[in-house]
Structure 1
Amino acid sequence: MPLEKSLWPATPSSGVRDITVGDLLREAATAEPDRLALVDGSPDAADRREWTYRELLADVEDAARALLAHFAPGDRIAIWAPNSADWVILQQAIAMAGMVVVGVNPAYRAHELEYILRQSRSVGLFYRESYRGTDLTKVLTKVRPSLPYLRTVVPTSEWRAFVATGDPATEFPVVTATAPVQIQYTSGTTGFPKGALLHHKGIVNEATFVFERAGMVDHVVCVNAMPMYHIGGGAVTELGTFAAHGTYVVLPGFEPALMLEMLETCRGTHSLMVPTMLISLLEHPDRRSRDLSSLHTVLSGAAAVPQSLVERVIDELDCQFTILFGQSEMHGVISQTRVTDAPADQATTVGQPLPELEVKIIDPVSGEVVPIGAQGEICCRGYQTMLGYSDMPDETAATIDADGWLYMGDLATMDERGFLRITGRLKDMIIRGGLNIYPREIEELLFQHLDVAEVAIVGVPDEKWGEQIGAVVRPTDPANPPDAAELKAWCRDRIAAHKTPSLWYFTDGLPMTPSGKIQKFRVQQEIASGALTATHLDEKMAPERLSNS
């Protein structure tokens, strides 16, 4: 029945279950004990390891008993390491022991590490001694005196010895489905992140529904390069795979050649890749020589997925495509296209809301639900809502109202079928001469230009207009960037004059979060500091370096 206003009621489903992360693994081990569950996708084939579900459950239980010998249920335990099978085992063990996982980006340095460990009140830390040439032990030593809660630190070299400290007679605690299981820190596109406190029921059911909508096969093999500390790795792909009793292949990070190799070697059926990953994969010289015939569905999200990229992936990889949309505060995904959706819906929307979730689009000023097709802020309510921001009651109250609605800060429209079309972020909105301008529309347009590989539209302070529209472009060919005047004219032919960027910047790299989102606040900082300057519209200019570190 067509909707009369932009309000999606909770829809029935196969059932939201009261289930924990540990329950999910035990179910899979009971149903398919000898099926391959986990593969450590090391670049060196000689270092790759495998676990059946029986073996994985045994190793998780051993690690959980060791954790219970040193910590108590409810304790926050941080993992500061790149992807690996041991990351998965430790994460599962922390959940089984009734503790809370705090994932930390291994690229974080002293002030970032200190912030996460202090804010989360982590009492334990498991970490890799080095990462990409950086001595992480040295970094930790620098900040540890300022971390009063942290009492136990275990480097990777001591992991086996730590597991051996567990008592086989230890009984596991009773963990409820709504108990906290992860503190998922937001991407940090606007500064220091907030920690969303998530529960077992939310991450397990949400991941299950995502994989159901992505299209199931007899044996799911998910090849994952998304960071495990990110909701896409440590919840959506991992738990979705285990819910399907499939095989989870975890790569140490995204490298297109390794992703292509593992998709071929492991006969991968599913993979979640953000747009920047997909572009790198499609452009890699190995792609045409690899057998990717097993690939069933590519999942994408975490950043805007342009229509042209959707069409290119479907055509060149000969697979199905599904777009995920959401945020950490809602346990990851709130809406998703189905692989059976019409091509136009696949390319231009983020699908309908997931089951058993209410979604409405409201006027940000009045708070009233807007008519069908009108733009407004997305609000959600249901079992997927986070428990709150960790130790941030004021921020929690500002995000979740008294009726349980979570305000996402994303702008969208909803059609009469409930399909959502994302139009931007409230905080990204540019106000030029009193007119509201939404960057996403302009970014989507410029992404269609053959000479534009990536683009960020930002507001640049201006005395006369309040803000001017700035376009920061990474050219397809950095040695031969497009002419700014030509790009401006190209835009002017397609959108209104007041939406056409007046300032043009060229760069060979945009600063990204680990999940592939452009950090626009850093782009604006580079412009404000003069590190990035606008090119004159009547001359070409070689790309400047915009820090991506």
Structure 2
Amino acid sequence: MVSAEISGDLTVSSRYDDESVRRFRELGYWRDGSAAALLDHWADTTPDRPYVSDGVADLTYGDTRDRAYRLGARLLELGVRPGDRVVVQLPNWSEFIVSYLALGRIGAVMVPIMMVYRDAEVEHVLANSDAVAAITTGTFRSFDHAAMFRGLQSSSPSLRHLVIARADPAPGETSFDEASGAGAAIPGADVLGPYPDPDLPHVIVYTSGTESTAKGCVHTWNTLDFSGRGLATDVFAMTDRDVMFMPSPVAHATGLVVGVLVPLTVGAPTHLLDVWEPTEALRRIERYGCTTSASATPFVRMALDAARSSSSDISSMRFWLCAGAPIPPALGAEFSTAFSGGLLMPLYGCSEIMAGTSCHLEDPPEKRSTSDGSPALAGVEITLMGPDGEDAAPGEEGEICYWGPGAILGYWREPERTAATIDSRGRHHTGDLGRADADGFVRVTGRLKDIIIRGGTNISAGEVEGHLSAHPSVAGVAVVAYPDERMGERACAVVVPADGATPTLEELTGFLRTERRISPQKLPEKLVLVDQMPMTATGKVQKFRLRELAAGA
């Protein structure tokens, strides 16, 4: 069991009142299952049906269970216990899904980390989560992840074990293949124990949001399964004849829920793409007969550009869920032509709530381009809070607030942040702004949060500013978004140089990459030098003016 003291008093009873919990269970929003029980169902009834492929490995449901349960048993031998946090930093490989299901079987809490995260971000996650083990790989895209974790062990006393996939482990480390591979007996409940409690922490997803340090979003099996099951049935209308295509990182909220849980819900296959390259993506869609997908909007734009010169048959794709930016009418029409009548549908959500709003198959076509949808799933209530604290009327802008069975219990070991985000009505405040029409369809209009959304991924401006301010050539700095056709937004650093200094973009990004060791995706892609920052009368930087400056530079 995970004690309230360890989890920061994050329990179902501290998050929801008794009536809400009763209602969630009565209406079937929470079903008290587990990821392992779902895997067992499909492995027992359809053991030879494909589940996960990645261009290298092809695993059936039976294969996946065998490997996951062997890995789970090995982790127990290493001393991992129910409630322990285990970091998983892996690409879109079958090993990620095997790791997730292994941890879900033994009741350990998976902490997925994006592959682009480097020492600074990973060290914070390790310290905040007190992870006892990490499952990772060696060199991927010219960066040695195993070496990074080895270097961080000295500053992370709880991190006792490293499990290495698709690379050679060092002495004292564990080989993923040997731990999960064929040859050993498949352990049963006598070794693995009972299924874990579905109301205890199951996954902690770290997200930057507005603050300079990432916060851990604590999901139980019930909160996560609610979104995965609801998206599978209510949005994708998915069956076991579908094949999910997942180019979004499965260590990210979208990839985890849509790429892993949605197919698992209906016993369908999922195909993972580890490195985004649009022409290769189209080849994979043809090769594996993919029918559904989800990604940030820029992925769709690049896929459509590649389709003009590609000979791949992509007519199997019927449905692509699109997040992170509005869908222009022309983009939806172009998608339908390229994918032989396939539908491009909008989704709005975040790591804290997963699925907030979405359009559905029965919605009028014009809603797909004029809104980000209505509440995505039955049981979800979306309200907009105006500046006066009251609910905003239709057409008026307000902060988007979520109430429903899919919200996190809170932030791991962050009671102040949890209290600041969840109000007295039990609503989760997203920090995003929107307007709702008379039919309840919401259009996201902006955000209260100071972030840049690059290709659907949030970048905390405050975090990057904090790192840049440590550079000797920087006297003042602000990081803002500027529009980009492909990525939606990119980051621009607006810098007041120190006396006598003339910093360059290459100098600053090199400092961030090698000295501060932050994720490459957070590096500013434009630099503007100014004599002084535009300020309000109360001394706040006028970032709207800086965004205008960055857009025109």
Q: What TM-score bracket applies, with the shorter chain setting the length?
A: 0.7 to 0.9
Write out aligned runs for 1:304-315 (5 A): 304-315=326-337
Q: Residue 334 of structure 1 corresponds to which residue in structure 2?
A: 356
Structure 1 residue 63 corresponds to structure 2 residue 80: no
Q: Measured at CA, do residues 197 and 264 of structure 1 come closer, stay the same or move farther in structure 2, by a change above 3 Å? A: same
1:453-491 per-residue CA deviation (whole Å, 9 max, x = no partner) reads: xxx9x9xxxxxxxxx9x9835478xxxxxxxxxxxxxxx
Displacement after TM superposition at 1:285 (Å): 5.8
Q: 2:201 aligns with which of 164, 176, 180?
A: 180
Structure 1 residue 34 corresponds to structure 2 residue 51: no
Contact 2:53/2:94 (<8 A) preserved: yes
SS in 2 for 1:343: coil
Alpha-carbon distance in 2 for matches of 1:254, 1:389: 31
1:269-327 per-residue CA deviation (whole Å, 9 max, x = no partner) reads: 01112112111111126754110111111111134444443332223323012211111
Identity percentage of aligned residues: 27
Contact 1:350/1:421 (<8 A) preserved: yes
SS in 1 for 2:257: helix
Q: 1:120 aligns with which of 123, 126, 129?
A: 129
Contact 2:34/2:195 (<8 A) preserved: no
Q: Residue 162 of structure 1 corresponds to which residue in structure 2?
A: 179
Q: 2:161 aligns with which of 152, 159, 171?
A: 152
Letter in 2 for 1:36: P
Write out aligned runs for 1:79-94 (5 A): 79-94=88-103
Q: Measured at CA, do residues 543 and 83 of structure 1 come closer, stay the same or move farther in structure 2, by a change above 3 Å? A: farther
Write out aligned runs for 1:128-527 (5 A): 128-156=137-165, 157=168, 158-163=175-180, 168=187, 169-187=190-208, 191-212=212-233, 213-217=235-239, 219-284=241-306, 288-318=310-340, 319-330=342-353, 332-353=354-375, 354-363=377-386, 365-427=387-449, 472-474=482-484, 526-527=527-528
Alpha-carbon distance in 2 for matches of 1:278, 1:119: 35
Letter in 1 for 2:218: L
Alpha-carbon distance in 2 for matches of 1:312, 1:122: 45
Q: Measured at CA, do residues 146 and 428 of structure 1 come closer, stay the same or move farther in structure 2, by a change above 3 Å? A: closer
Alpha-carbon distance in 2 for matches of 1:89, 1:245: 15
Q: Measured at CA, do residues 126 and 416 of structure 1 come closer, stay the same or move farther in structure 2, by a change above 3 Å? A: same
Letter in 1 for 2:406: Q
1:357-408 per-residue CA deviation (whole Å, 9 max, x = no partner) reads: 1221111x32111212211011111211101111111000000123311111
Alpha-carbon distance in 2 for matches of 1:377, 1:524: 30
Q: Residue 24 of structure 1 corresponds to which residue in structure 2?
A: 38
Letter in 2 for 1:369: D
Q: CA RMSD in A?
A: 3.6
Single out whichever of 215-224 and 341-350 deviates more from structure 2: 215-224
Structure 1 residue 100 corresponds to structure 2 residue 109: yes
Letter in 1 for 2:374: Q
Displacement after TM superposition at 1:137 (Å): 3.3
Single out whichever of 176-185 and 27-36 deviates more from structure 2: 27-36
Letter in 1 for 2:143: T
Alpha-carbon distance in 2 for matches of 1:542, 1:238: 38
Alpha-carbon distance in 1 for matches of 2:308, 2:93: 24
Q: Measured at CA, do residues 314 and 529 of structure 1 come closer, stay the same or move farther in structure 2, by a change above 3 Å? A: farther
SS in 2 for 1:328: coil
Alpha-carbon distance in 2 for matches of 1:196, 1:408: 13
SS in 1 for 2:191: coil
Letter in 1 for 2:440: G
Alpha-carbon distance in 2 for matches of 1:72, 1:394: 28
Contact 1:322/1:346 (<8 A) preserved: yes
Alpha-carbon distance in 2 for matches of 1:304, 1:190: 25
Q: Residue 486 of structure 1 corresponds to which residue in structure 2?
A: none
Q: 1:72 aligns with which of 81, 84, 88?
A: 81
Contact 1:207/1:237 (<8 A) preserved: no
Contact 1:210/1:336 (<8 A) preserved: no
1:327-380 per-residue CA deviation (whole Å, 9 max, x = no partner) reads: 1111x11111112321210111121112111221111x3211121221101111
SS in 2 for 1:295: coil
Q: Measured at CA, do residues 366 and 101 of structure 1 come closer, stay the same or move farther in structure 2, by a change above 3 Å? A: same
Displacement after TM superposition at 1:253 (Å): 2.6
Calculate the TM-score normalised by the size of structure 2.
0.73
Q: Measured at CA, do residues 304 and 527 of structure 1 come closer, stay the same or move farther in structure 2, by a change above 3 Å? A: farther
Displacement after TM superposition at 1:224 (Å): 0.9
Displacement after TM superposition at 1:189 (Å): 6.7
Gapped runs of 5+ residues in structure 2?
Answer: 1-22, 169-174, 462-477, 487-508, 510-518, 532-549
Letter in 2 for 1:124: A
Contact 1:372/1:415 (<8 A) preserved: yes
Contact 2:54/2:92 (<8 A) preserved: no
Contact 2:254/2:294 (<8 A) preserved: yes
Displacement after TM superposition at 1:220 (Å): 1.1
Letter in 1 for 2:74: A
Calculate the TM-score normalised by the size of structure 1.
0.74
Contact 2:436/2:442 (<8 A) preserved: yes
Contact 1:80/1:104 (<8 A) preserved: yes
Displacement after TM superposition at 1:138 (Å): 3.1
Alpha-carbon distance in 2 for matches of 1:262, 1:519: 26
Q: Measured at CA, do residues 412 and 253 of structure 1 come closer, stay the same or move farther in structure 2, by a change above 3 Å? A: same
Q: Residue 61 of structure 2 corresponds to which residue in structure 1?
A: 53
Displacement after TM superposition at 1:141 (Å): 3.1
Q: Measured at CA, do residues 162 and 28 of structure 1 come closer, stay the same or move farther in structure 2, by a change above 3 Å? A: closer
Letter in 1 for 2:179: F
SS in 2 for 1:254: coil
Alpha-carbon distance in 2 for matches of 1:95, 1:24: 11
SS in 1 for 2:423: coil
SS in 2 for 1:108: coil
Q: Measured at CA, do residues 325 and 160 of structure 1 come closer, stay the same or move farther in structure 2, by a change above 3 Å? A: same
Displacement after TM superposition at 1:88 (Å): 0.8
Contact 1:65/1:172 (<8 A) preserved: no
Contact 2:245/2:293 (<8 A) preserved: yes
Contact 2:89/2:135 (<8 A) preserved: yes
